[in-house]
């Protein structure tokens, strides 16, 4: 029986889970549902090199070749909106249902603001994603 593992979350945990599954010999389908459009990347550089270095490289978790070798099926940029445990399916933000044999939640954390008004404030920034770092960097340069 072909087995399918669905990983929700394309962060470091999701990336290492996929890599470890392959390293340990899992040869079924690995699907990654990721709301970000990017390949797996590391966040620590976002508050360091990505802000300080003019031409900071995208901090990939794995080289392009290494990630290609994992043979993943990406669903991105899409959110997992709900999980139908009875049917063993994940419902995606485009309405698609993705069935699974096994499911891994690697949804990490998110930046929280004290209230909604803060999100609209022009001088309040959150720093969680690659785009956040790019935005903050350009404002800091000003």
Ligand X SMILES: Cc1cc2nc3c(=O)[nH]c(=O)nc-3n(C[C@H](O)[C@H](O)[C@H](O)COP(=O)(O)OP(=O)(O)OC[C@H]3O[C@@H](n4cnc5c(N)ncnc54)[C@H](O)[C@@H]3O)c2cc1C
**Residue numbers of the site for ligand X (CB under 6 A)?**
8-14, 33-36, 43-44, 46-47, 79-80, 106-109, 127-128
* C-beta closer to ligand X: residue 3 or 47: 47
Least separation in angstroms between residue 1's CB and ligand X is 26
Burial readout 52-62 (b: 16 or more C-beta within 10 A, e: otherwise): eeeebeebebb
Give yes or no for a contact between 32 and 10, defined as CB atoms under 8 angstroms apart: yes
Distance (Å, rounded) from C-alpha 105 to C-alpha 72?
Answer: 16
* C-beta closer to ligand X: residue 2 or 112: 112
Least separation in angstroms between residue 122's CB and ligand X is 21
């Amino acid at each position: 029986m072909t087995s399918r593992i669905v990983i929700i979350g394309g962060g470091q945990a999701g990336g290492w889970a996929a890599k470890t599954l392959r390293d340990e010999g899992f040869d079924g389908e690995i699907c990654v549902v990721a709301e970000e459009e990017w390949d797996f990347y590391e966040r620590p550089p976002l508050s360091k090199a990505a802000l300080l270095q003019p031409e900071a490289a995208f901090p990939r978790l794995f080289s392009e070749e290494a990630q290609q070798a994992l043979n993943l099926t990406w669903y991105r940029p899409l959110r997992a909106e709900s999980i139908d445990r009875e049917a063993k399916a994940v419902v995606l933000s485009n309405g698609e249902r993705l069935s699974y044999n096994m499911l891994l939640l690697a949804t990490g954390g998110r930046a929280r603001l004290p209230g909604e008004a803060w999100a609209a404030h022009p001088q309040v920034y959150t720093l969680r994603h690659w785009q956040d770092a790019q935005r903050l960097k350009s404002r800091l340069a000003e």
